Chains A and B, each alone.
Chain A
Amino acid sequence: MTTTAPEDTAVVPAFRSIGVVRKVKNWVATSLVTLAFVGALVPLVWLLYTVVSKGYEAILGANWWQKSLKGVLPEQFTGGVYHAIYGTLVQGLVCAVIAVPIGVLTAVYLVEYGENGRLARVTTFMVDILSGVPSIVAALFVFAVWISTLGFSQSALAVSFALVLLMLPVVVRSSEEMLRLVPDELREAAYALGVPKWKTIVRIVLPTALSGMVTGVMLALARVMGETAPVLVLVGYSRSINYDVTDGNMASLPLLIYTELTNPEAAGVQRVWGAALTLILVIMFFNLLASIISRFSAVPTK
């Protein structure tokens, strides 16, 4: 190794400091990107602040969680929304009872049996389409089948059917993802012991993936309970409680908000924001539940 004379090579130093233009560009990009994030927080904070500040008085009222609006005049600052909370929860529950088995079984088919067959490919394609169907179209479809063609009356059950269409793709997707995370070694160990395939799925694969799937279901539930379009088309509003899912008008929080919007009295305005805050609280509760479940029980990938 001979070292050349420094005068020959040191004209261009090995490390040059970054030029001003590049530094400025980098700085501008960093600030723009950070600004975009901060900018997105503005509407979120603003919206939550608006809803809380306008709605907290209503939900602190003594009757809010225990009474309905039966016999309450539009201008009276009394009554509650428990009839609407019941409607929101029960419509979501009925929807989940239908959508979860179908969604989970479909995911099992796609992961365990489908193997890229024709039915698996068509199903994946259809789930893609279903995830893009607007809620109003799902509502129209249920209206066209259940009410126009089959002649049933408007009911909470019809709403649940429409919600099923919106919930299915989310459940299928998240369950599929979780089932694919289950390591093949578990399946192979079961097969090696002579366990039938269906029993392997029911006793080994599904329990392993369960917590992740429950999280997905909770998130899906939170999403469909805030849907307004189906309840506008498929069920009438009622100011009093109706426990019957299959018949009659039933309130839900979005429907109550939409109906009270036409009430010009101050009490109506307060009720609208109170119900909006209640709806956000209900949805946040399910979101929180989902993240707690996923935090405390993750699928062991190895």
Chain B
Amino acid sequence: MSESKARTRQEARTPGGSPVMMDDMSEEPPRPAAPRTVRRSGDTVFKALTSGSSMVIVVSIALIGIFLLVQAVPSLRANTVNFLTSTQFSTSDATNLAFGIRDLLVVTVLSSILALVLAMPVALGIALFLTHYAPRRLARPFAYVIDLLAAVPSIVYGLWGIAVLGPELEPVATWLNGNLGWIPLFADGNVSIAGGGTIFTAGVVLAIMILPIITAVTREVFTQTPRTQIEGALALGATKWEMVRTTVLPFGRSGYVAASMLGLGRALGETVAVLIILRAASSPSGLSFFDGGYTFASKIASAAAEFSQPLPTGAYIAAGLVLFLLTLVVNAIARVIAGGKVNAS
């Protein structure tokens, strides 16, 4: 309150200055001889309103963590197997809960990493194309077309993935399995490759889904490359590719990595596309792209209809909490790498 009073005096004393910039100077002790001070109730109310909204956001995030934790703890205590290493997830008997996240974690990480590996080079190429290769006039409509990929709802991606793309990818999957089967990642999985209900299909679909976000953020960073550097490189006789390699890529590298991390965060939390594509498996996951099973998100969504008793529900909330922490860490890494250059929404 006294702060706003001081600012009103400041404004009155220096009518030429910009009041917006005054806040930093409000530390100055108010002088008793200052001219007429005006305190407007409208200002007080409006400031309270806006800062109140900010607090609503801050509090709600804190509540997400607290509520998930509070509801997960009783179930974790009642759990009869190790939460981190068990491959079981049976919550049908509330008196004998046995749930572990080992398989969920494996499937989530495998599908997201595959998506990232596939999407990263393509997104880099698209971002370069849109910023430095496409004709000026077409760059905007082209960027809009890539953004359209983000406008397709995830359930439609899931439908298309299992009905159309999965069967088309089957020969590729069979070939990889047949020729590179000695690598554990391509070994026989716990579901059949036929039909395409595997992590492999899910990873490809996820890659397409995270392509627009990686591209959009990378593009934004690439366009900020200093004009002088680009022109300097060209003036020294560099070809276009040499110019890109010596100016654009070093400048945008951190932004590109951060963008990929944001994409990874999206892939980790993707729910319904994965739920539709992946086939349920009867045996534990064996670190292969041709496994089926559930990710954190799809496991929670698949059981949503059975959320009635608190203890079994708590088991899924515990899984949700792990997913929350996982995405939190990935996003935090992205922010640290980017150092404020990246703005994803």
- Residues of B within 8 Å of A228, CB to CB, are 153-155, 271-272, 301
Query: Which of B128, B142, B153 makes the CB contact (< 8 A) with A33?
Result: B128
8 Å CB contacts to A: which residues of B229-260?
237, 239-242, 244
Interface residues on A, range: 35 or more
A284-B151 in contact (CB<8A): yes
A174 lies within 8 A of chain B by Cβ: yes
A43, B124: Cα distance in complex, Å: 17
Residue interface mask B145-182, A partner, CB < 8 A = 1: 11011111111110110011100000000000000000
Closest A residue, CB atoms, query B343: A173
Residue interface mask B214-236, A partner, CB < 8 A = 1: 01000000000000000000000
8 Å CB contacts to B: which residues of A72-119?
101-103, 105-106, 108-110, 112-115, 117, 119
Interface residues on B, range: 35 or more
8 Å CB contacts to B: which residues of A132-146?
132-138, 140-141, 143-145
Provide a sorted-by-A list of 20 A–B residue pairs whose CB atoms are within 8 angstroms: A29-B240, A35-B125, A51-B156, A110-B54, A119-B55, A119-B58, A123-B58, A131-B331, A133-B269, A134-B268, A134-B270, A136-B296, A137-B327, A141-B68, A202-B46, A226-B156, A229-B272, A254-B272, A273-B159, A284-B151
Q: Quick check: which of B19-27, B88-96, B195-203, B278-286 contacts chain A, the rest being far away?
A: B19-27
Query: Knowing A136-B271, A280-B152 touch, does A144 contact B68 (C-beta < 8 A)?
Result: yes
B335-A33 in contact (CB<8A): no
B155-A173 in contact (CB<8A): no
- Residues of B within 8 Å of A173, CB to CB, are 343, 345
A243 lies within 8 A of chain B by Cβ: no
Q: Whole-angstrom distance from the CB of B198 to the nearest CB of chain A?
A: 18
A41-B145 in contact (CB<8A): yes
A261-B265 in contact (CB<8A): no
A129 lies within 8 A of chain B by Cβ: yes
A133-B320 in contact (CB<8A): no
Closest A residue, CB atoms, query B261: A132
- Residues of B within 8 Å of A26, CB to CB, are 239-242
Looking at A40, A101, A227, the one whose CB has the most chain B CB atoms below 10 A away is A40
A120, B45: Cα distance in complex, Å: 18
- Residues of A within 8 Å of B154, CB to CB, are 226-228
Which of B's residues lie within 8 Å of A, judged by CB? 11, 15, 18-20, 23-24, 40, 42-43, 45-47, 49-58, 60-61, 63-64, 67-68, 70-71, 121-126, 128-130, 133-134, 142, 144-146, 148-157, 159-160, 163-165, 208, 211, 215, 237, 239-242, 244, 262, 265, 268-272, 276, 296-297, 300-301, 304, 307, 310, 313, 316-317, 320, 323-324, 327-328, 330-331, 335, 343-345
Interface of A, secondary structure class, is helix
Closest B residue, CB atoms, query A165: B60
A51-B265 in contact (CB<8A): no
Q: Whole-angstrom distance from the CB of A229 to the nearest CB of chain B?
A: 4
A119-B51 in contact (CB<8A): yes
B129-A229 in contact (CB<8A): no
A192-B15 in contact (CB<8A): yes
A254, B343: Cα distance in complex, Å: 29
